Amino acid sequence: MNFIRTDIPDVVIIEPKVHGDERGYFVETFRADKLQEFLGYTINFCQDNESKSSRGVLRGLHYQLHPAAQTKLVRVIQGRVLDVAVDIRKDSPTFGQHVAVELSSENKKQLLVPRGFAHGFVVLEDDTVFAYKVDNYYSPENDRGIAFDDKELKIDWQVPHAELNLSAKDKIQPKLHDTNDLFEYGVNYYND
């Protein structure tokens, strides 16, 4: 596995090694030992999730507050998405900045989105299957979001606004600077 730090170093692209021949391919999609060796700490994933969506579906930008904050390890099994992680740690040198990575069944890339980041993705192909691990269970009382179209975030979703398909909840999320439900930079949210 190849681990690549992005412009926001806490967000990591993971490129698994694909072994293929005329019969198909084999790939290790997760190795706890390799991830721990790279990060220097352990992430205890406890749940796997999967969604299937058509082109233009946008899910996000979502996060959960501490003590239910989540790290996500995301990938695409079928199709393509533009995956986005936004730094929502107050006083972080990269506060409000984002990383956007195309994840697809072809490139097999994954994105590690740590606690302290809002996450979202837009589907670029019909019948896209998106899968992710989380290290904390869903907590409705800690569930939060940021407006996907907050102009200060400067996210190019690569799909025209008129073609986007959002949930009712995601249509009314607050702008980043209109919420007080953020994380503190420098706090270790992994020591529960």
Kindly report, residue by residue over 35-66, the tens digit of the pLDDT.
Answer: 999 999 999 999 999 999 999 999 999 999 99
pLDDT at 149 over 90: yes
The CB density around residue 139, as the number of other CB atoms within 10 Å, is: 13
The active-site residue, picked from 62, 63, 119, 189, is 62
pLDDT at residue 37, rounded to an integer: 96
* Position with higher pLDDT, 192 vs 12: 12
Q: How many CB atoms lie within 10 A of CB 25?
A: 9
CA–CA distance from 75 to each of 18, 113, 130, 176, 189 (Å)? 14, 11, 6, 25, 23
- pLDDT score, position 191: 66
Cis peptide before 61 (omega within 30 of 0): yes
Cα–Cα dist 102/109, whole Å: 8
The whole-angstrom separation of Cα 35 and Cα 2 is 10
Catalytic site residue from 63, 98, 119, 132: 132
Residue 192 has pLDDT above 60, yes or no: no
Mean pLDDT of the chain: 96
pLDDT of 189 reads: 86
**Placement of tokens 């930008």 in the chain:** 61
**Count of residues in the chain:** 192
Measured CA distances, 36 to 31, 42, 70, 88, 163 (Å): 9, 5, 17, 24, 40
Q: Is 137 a catalytic residue?
A: no
Fold entry, domain 45-184: Jelly Rolls (2.60.120)
**Residue range 111-146, pLDDT digits in tens:** 999 999 999 999 999 999 999 999 999 999 999 999
Angle at 11 between CA 10 and CA 13, to 5 degrees: 130
pTM confidence score: 0.95
Both tokens of 40, joined, read 């220097």
Kindly list the distances between the CA atom of residue 187 and the CA atoms of 67, 104, 142, 150, 190, in Å, as whole numbers in the listed order.
12, 33, 18, 26, 9
Beta pairing partners, 183 = 89
190 noted as active-site residue = no
Please report, for residues 17, 40, 186, the alpha-carbon distance to residue 189 in angstroms, rounded to integers and kept in the order given: 30, 15, 9
What percent of the chain has a predicted confidence (pLDDT) above 90? 93
Q: Where are the domains of the chain?
A: 45-184
